Structure 1
Amino acid sequence: MEKHTADLSEELACFGHKVHVLAHPEYKDRFSPAIAFHPVPFHWSRRNPLLKLRVRQILRKLSAHVVHAQGNKAAALIAGPESRAGVTVGTIHGTKSSHRYFDKLDGVIAVSSGIYRALSHPHTKLIHNGVKPRQNGNKTTHAVPETQAFAVAVGRLEPVKQFDKLITAWATLKPELPLYILGDGSEAGRLTTQIQRLGADSLVKLTGYEENPAAWLQQASVCVISSEREGFPYVLVEALLARCPVLSTPVNGALELLPAESLAASNEPDALQALLSEQLGDLESLKKSQEVCFERALKELTLEAMASRTEAFYCELLKAPHRV
């Protein structure tokens, strides 16, 4: 969500809009001088009256044409007539049990079809995440392997990503290409122990956080998404833009963009292992089967496309006679 906010803000500024961002002070360095950054203690609870007061004071002072909330907490803070000057918009980045705060906004953006279908708001728009394609020469945090084929998985080392199931499947199948998992998180120690216990040190490598996963994807033979659930994974977009074929559990985004033979039958470990067993043996055919996906990504999943559709939705809401 932080990446989405930073990317969208910068692109809208490039379009000529004056963009203000309210965020925790630790995110200030993610934004260029073109963005007016307002530090707000968002680590406080959404129910904290001082946080609500601070946000509403800034919004009243700005009198923005559009107030855009990224995520549930931000939506809760602007979901009231006292917060608004222009229209209010919220983006839902993941599956939620309740959308009550978003229902109070003028418009809602869903980042995947799965999220979109779950919404009842009368003014909802489906806008996929988009990224700016990177070039091969961009600097990486860790050196990209140059002498061998390899697979890559990208994400926070947290239970929802199910990297433990992916490691088990890789250790069981013992494919010819090693798997590099890019990311850090609370599961790092446990996953390291698991790799050692399975004797899979030469098969699976925890690389750590990578600033530029796109450069890895441009060289990888395949990208694997093993998540239990996703809103719309950025790694899927980056992989397709890099023309790197993807194998995935049936999560939002992958269900929309990948052919059926590239998806596991379920989120269960056996289904992921079965998919890998079937597809890793012929990666050339896998890549050919996703050529249409690569072309679609180039047309629809760029940062410019995402920002253009968001801008158009803003204009649509500003012209509409309705108000929540």
Structure 2
Amino acid sequence: MPVSPRSRPCIMQVMGTGNQYGGLEKHFFDLCNRLSADYEVVAVGHPDQAHGLKEGVHFESIGRHMGRRNPLTLFRMMNLIRRWKPDVIHAHANRAAEMVSHVKFCTRARCVATVHNIKQWHFAFRGFDQIIAVSRGVAASIPLKNVTVVYNGIRPPAAAETHQRSFLASQFQLSADKPIALSIGRLAHEKGYDVLIEAWKQIPAQLVIVGEGPERKKLESQIAAAGVSDRVRLAGFRKDVPALLASADMKIIASRREGFPYTLVEALMCRAVIVSTDVPGATEFVPAEYLAPREDMRALRNCILGTLSNLPAAKARYEPIWQTAARELTVETMVKNTVATYFPAARKVA
């Protein structure tokens, strides 16, 4: 079906992941939905991803079995490009970048790709007009010159949460008289929860881990074996993350690998004290005294203990960082900086 004439530039956003939801997918949905207010946006991806898009975004499915080298997938991509004639094609992560790299010969559109995590293999991103990295740490891992950093952003909480620790305690049958730490993320190896639970054996506080994933049973067994079942909870998926963050004494990121964790942005926006491993993103916002080397259980434990011993000082240290995050880590700033990579000539004129 031919595309009707349009009065606005057309931006094609391409996603190569399947029916899952995480930081990458959140970034894709937020970018598509916000861009649709000012541009003609065509979102290309797995059919299950249509649910996260606003009515004003044109969704095009390239099938449920969309291998990055699948001839049928590439044929569909070429047909979509020829039909929509986009001004910009933006590929998200490796799979989408490789798909676009195979078919961009058929278009004069400006081709942009976002790298969402540290990669050792960058061939898929060669030949793009512009590469976006979601953190300086990710940018440093890319051996290409045309790289710019655009941080992930979220919509600020609608109103400041005023919950106390007692709210979190009541939700998970914990004591309101002892500190409660919160960690949020997929229950997967790269999130480092096995290291965090091991560290918790010698931390006199309580821990709530929010999220689901393939390592749930393994972590449940580890919690029981470590003897911390009375003070560590696997909370599953929750929709009230801002309220939980506002109730916790601290937020912990124990990841082995990240590009720029959305949970870091959420925690900063909720004015949470954060202890993290030294993953990209965290190293750019979290003060050095609240960082621990990845997979170093003792260092992580000592960092958590030191922070818990003087939470008022930690809050004072974080105050200017929370203010910076409120300005820089929003969807509006993310979209503005992304659009600047789409139309660099307009940015130079401005």
TM-score under structure 2 length normalisation: 0.84
- 1:27-68 C-alpha deviation (Å, 9 max, x unpaired): 111111121111222643211111111112111111111100
Matched, 1:311 2:311: no
Equivalence for 1:48: 70
Equivalence for 1:135: 158
Bigger shift: residues 220-229 or 148-157: 148-157
Following superposition, the deviation at residue 83 of structure 1 comes to 4.4
- 2:93 counterpart letter in structure 1: G
Equivalence for 1:163: 193
- Structure 2 distance, partners of 1:82, 1:95, is 27
Aligned pair partner of 1:108 in 117, 127, 131: 131
SS of 1:288's partner is helix
Following superposition, the deviation at residue 112 of structure 1 comes to 0.7
Q: Which has the higher contact order (CA 8 A, sep 6+)?
A: 1
Matched, 1:236 2:258: no
- Structure 2 distance, partners of 1:100, 1:144, is 49
* CA spacing shift, 1:317–1:6, aligned 2, 3 Å: farther
- Structure 1 distance, partners of 2:51, 2:300, is 38
Following superposition, the deviation at residue 144 of structure 1 comes to 5.5
* CA spacing shift, 1:137–1:300, aligned 2, 3 Å: closer
Following superposition, the deviation at residue 213 of structure 1 comes to 2.0
Aligned pair partner of 2:202 in 148, 159, 172: 172
Following superposition, the deviation at residue 239 of structure 1 comes to 0.4
- 2:181 counterpart letter in structure 1: A
* CA spacing shift, 1:226–1:317, aligned 2, 3 Å: farther
Contact 1:165–1:269 (8 Å) recurs in 2: yes
Bigger shift: residues 221-230 or 197-206: 197-206
SS of 1:210's partner is coil
Following superposition, the deviation at residue 6 of structure 1 comes to 0.3
- 1:210-232 C-alpha deviation (Å, 9 max, x unpaired): 23423321222210000011000
- 2:31 counterpart letter in structure 1: L
Following superposition, the deviation at residue 121 of structure 1 comes to 2.9
Matched, 1:36 2:36: no
The alignment yields a C-alpha RMSD, in angstroms, of 2.0
SS of 1:151's partner is strand
Following superposition, the deviation at residue 318 of structure 1 comes to 7.7
Q: After TM superposition, where is structure 1 displaced by more than 4 Å over at least 4 residues in a row?
A: 317-320
Matched, 1:76 2:98: yes
Contact 2:279–2:294 (8 Å) recurs in 1: no
Percent of paired sites with the same residue: 33
Contact 1:214–1:238 (8 Å) recurs in 2: yes
* CA spacing shift, 1:204–1:85, aligned 2, 3 Å: same
Equivalence for 1:89: 112
TM-score under structure 1 length normalisation: 0.91
Equivalence for 2:228: 200
SS of 1:173's partner is coil
- Structure 2 distance, partners of 1:144, 1:127, is 35
* CA spacing shift, 1:308–1:18, aligned 2, 3 Å: same
* CA spacing shift, 1:150–1:295, aligned 2, 3 Å: same
Following superposition, the deviation at residue 201 of structure 1 comes to 1.7
Structure 1 unaligned regions, length at least 5 = none
Matched, 1:288 2:316: yes
* CA spacing shift, 1:197–1:22, aligned 2, 3 Å: same
Equivalence for 2:80: 58
- 2:98 counterpart letter in structure 1: A
Structure 2 unaligned regions, length at least 5 = 1-23, 171-175
- Structure 2 distance, partners of 1:196, 1:225, is 22
* CA spacing shift, 1:124–1:271, aligned 2, 3 Å: same
